[in-house]
Structures are given as C-alpha cells and as structure tokens.
C-alpha cells in the first residue's frame, strides 16, 4: 500500500565548521553538512544575504568579513526535504583589537568563593563574550555592557581552566575582536584539582573555544600556589623538628640527672666506715 504524502518529515542533518566556527581573518574553514547515507541532494545555505550551494560542504580558503554570518543545511530524498539543521554562526575574529581580561579579586580562588572575570576594551563595544578552553560553546553569553563583568559564584574545581574574551558591536554580531590574552583561573582547596596549565597557548584555529595562559599582570598563579604549598610544608617540618629536639633534650636531661644521683650515691657509700670484723 502506497501513501501519497509522507506523514513525518525527514530528520534534520547536522552542520559543523572545521576546525572551528571562530575563524581569524585570512584563515581557512570548511562547513560540512552530514545526514543519512543515501541522500539525493544536499543544500547548504547562507542566510542574510540568502545564497546556497547544492552540496554537502562549503570550503572557504580565506576567511573574509562577508563570509561571516548564519548558515544551515538540509537534504532531499525523492520529492521530500528534510528539516533544516540547527543554524551555525560563523564568526570572523581578529577584526578589532583585542580586549583585556582580568580576575577580581584574584585568579587564584579558594574553593566555594566568588570571582569576577572582567573584560575591557579600549573601544565602545556593547557586547562581550567569554570562552573557556575545552568547551564547545560560550561559557557565558554576550553581556550588554561597555565593560563586561562575568561573575562566577561559588567556584568549584570544574571552573579551573583557561579563559579568553572577545568584544564586538551588536550592529555587526559576527565580526569579533582578536581574543584577549589567556587568563588561567586556579581553584584551590582540599578537593580542588587545578587543571594543567598548557606550556603553549594554542591558536584559535586549533583549539576548541570554551567552557578560555599567562596572567595579564605577568604573574603565574600556578607557581604562587606551589610556593604556598612549599612554605606550608617547610613550616610543618620545622615544627616537627623543634618537637623532636625538645623531646631529646628532655630525655638527655633526665639521663644526666639519673647518672648524677648514682654518682652521689656511690660517693656517700665510699665515705661510710667499714663494718667491724666478726669476733673470733
């Protein structure tokens, strides 16, 4: 029995950017649409302005401002089209000068305390976004302030990591600044295991933008934390050494006192007269 109309639409495909949806100007990127194995036709669209390609990928050898924007894709089997994929926002970065990112009161935070990451730009941008290295999307959505504060309440070990922020204008939402210098947030405490600080800062093209490493003030929080631990260890060792010395001095004094009493006792015994000889 044949049905004239398909009741359920075809499932939507997925759309991804390789290596990342955040692309510095001049760098390459490829958009790739993926659906079922047997597909008659793929269509990859750019929205506003509308243009499309009837293929499952779009290779952009050199990222330009006009390439930034929203994309989606779909596919056709027979006379039926699938649902469109989730929209992908392709962002051109390095369009503006980078902002600065700082932590207040400090980038080394005890477990359970609050910290605020502050992103500042020399220009009057009205939108900022914060990324954490290793996440697949923004750690916090854009904030509509000329100076953005990103509060993190009651930090946990999971908040340890490397952060970056971007600034941009709401009138050009897909043209972002160069990322800020990375900031390493270290959470300390009995159950906090700070994430390993990378020896090299990966470029935006090779890293996954957050859930974002030198500190902006030039200090190295992991070294400071290690120094505190080392100082505490030295203090404990000094205290233990002092206790052991006190115990040894006490034992030595007790032994000397005991030997003195023995000598005095022997001296008094030598001074006593000998007992009389027994009578014959």
pLDDT in tens, 56-112: 999 999 999 999 999 999 999 988 999 999 999 999 999 999 999 999 999 999 999
Whether residue 128 sits in one domain with residue 62: no
Whether residue 220 sits in one domain with residue 101: yes
Q: CA 210 to CA 171: how far, in whole Å?
A: 24
> Mean pLDDT highest for which of 33-47, 126-140, 263-277?
33-47
Whether residue 148 sits in one domain with residue 75: no
The pLDDT value recorded for residue 201 is 37
Contact 124, 167 (CB under 8 A): no
Whether the pLDDT of residue 134 is over 80: the answer is yes
Whether residue 204 sits in one domain with residue 116: yes
The pLDDT value recorded for residue 251 is 67
CATH code for the domain in which residue 74 is found: 2.60.40.10
Whether residue 213 sits in one domain with residue 121: yes
Q: Does the residue 36 lie in any domain?
A: yes
The pLDDT value recorded for residue 38 is 87
Answer with the one of 57, 72, 93 that is the final residue of a domain.
Answer: 93
Provide the pairing of β-strand 127-132 with 140-143. Answer: antiparallel
Q: Does the residue 24 lie in any domain?
A: yes
Contact 185, 103 (CB under 8 A): yes
What proportion of the chain, given as a percentage, has pLDDT over 70? 64
The pLDDT value recorded for residue 83 is 93
The pLDDT value recorded for residue 50 is 86
pLDDT in tens, 219-274: 333 333 333 444 455 555 666 776 677 777 666 666 655 655 544 444 444 444 44
Q: Which domain holds residue 21?
A: 14-93
Q: Does the residue 157 lie in any domain?
A: yes
Q: Does the residue 241 lie in any domain?
A: no
Whether the pLDDT of residue 140 is over 70: the answer is no
Q: CA 111 to CA 115: how far, in whole Å?
A: 11
Q: Does the residue 240 lie in any domain?
A: no
Between these two residues, 156 and 244, which has the higher pLDDT value? Answer: 156
Distances (CA, A) of 6 to 10, 81, 125: 9, 11, 49
Answer with the one of 31, 65, 93 that is the final residue of a domain.
Answer: 93
Whether the pLDDT of residue 129 is over 90: the answer is yes
What proportion of the chain, given as a percentage, has pLDDT over 90? 51
Whether residue 76 sits in one domain with residue 196: no
Answer with the one of 39, 71, 93 that is the final residue of a domain.
Answer: 93
Q: CA 93 to CA 27: how far, in whole Å?
A: 10
Whether residue 175 sits in one domain with residue 60: no
Q: Does the residue 277 lie in any domain?
A: no
Whether the pLDDT of residue 4 is over 70: the answer is no
Whether residue 128 sits in one domain with residue 69: no
Question: Could you give the number of structural domains in the chain?
Answer: 2
Q: Identify the band that residue 123 occupies on the pLDDT scale cut at 50, 70 and 90.
A: confident
52 DSSP β-pair partners? 45
Whether the pLDDT of residue 127 is over 60: the answer is yes
State the number of CA atoms in the 13 A half-sphere of 15 facing the CB: 26
Whether residue 209 sits in one domain with residue 103: yes
Q: Does the residue 264 lie in any domain?
A: no
Whether residue 84 sits in one domain with residue 108: no
Whether the pLDDT of residue 11 is over 60: the answer is yes
The pLDDT value recorded for residue 206 is 37
User: Chain-centre distance of CA 251, in angstroms?
Assistant: 54
Q: Does the residue 102 lie in any domain?
A: yes
| Model confidence, pTM | 0.63
Contact 123, 165 (CB under 8 A): no
């Amino acid at each position: 029995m044949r049905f004239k109309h398909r009741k359920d639409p075809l499932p939507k495909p997925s759309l991804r950017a390789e290596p990342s949806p955040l692309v510095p100007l001049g760098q390459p990127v490829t958009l790739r649409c993926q659906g079922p194995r047997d597909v008659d036709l793929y269509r990859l669209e750019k929205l506003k302005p509308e243009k499309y390609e009837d293929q499952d990928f779009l290779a952009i050898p050199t990222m330009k401002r006009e390439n930034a924007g929203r994309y989606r894709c779909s596919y056709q089997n027979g006379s039926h089209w699938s649902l469109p994929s989730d929209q992908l926002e392709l962002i051109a970065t390095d369009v503006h000068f980078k902002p600065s990112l700082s932590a207040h009161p400090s980038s080394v935070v005890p477990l359970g305390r609050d910290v605020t990451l502050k992103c500042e730009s020399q220009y009057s941008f009205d939108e900022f976004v914060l990324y954490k290295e290793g996440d697949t999307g923004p750690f916090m959505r854009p904030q509509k302030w000329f100076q953005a504060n990103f509060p993190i309440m009651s930090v946990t070990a999971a908040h340890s990591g490397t952060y970056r922020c971007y600034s941009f204008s709401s009138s050009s939402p897909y043209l972002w600044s160069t990322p800020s210098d990375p900031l390493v947030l270290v959470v300390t405490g009995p159950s906090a295991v700070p994430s390993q600080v990378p020896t090299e800062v990966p470029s935006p093209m090779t890293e996954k933008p957050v859930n974002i490493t030198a500190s902006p003030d030039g200090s190295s929080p992991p070294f400071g934390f290690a120094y505190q631990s080392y100082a505490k260890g030295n203090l404990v060792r000094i205290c233990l050494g002092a206790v052991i010395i006190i115990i040894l001095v006490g034992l030595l004094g007790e032994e000397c006192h005991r030997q003195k009493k023995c000598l005095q006792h022997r001296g008094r015994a030598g001074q006593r007269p000998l007992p009389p000889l027994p009578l014959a």
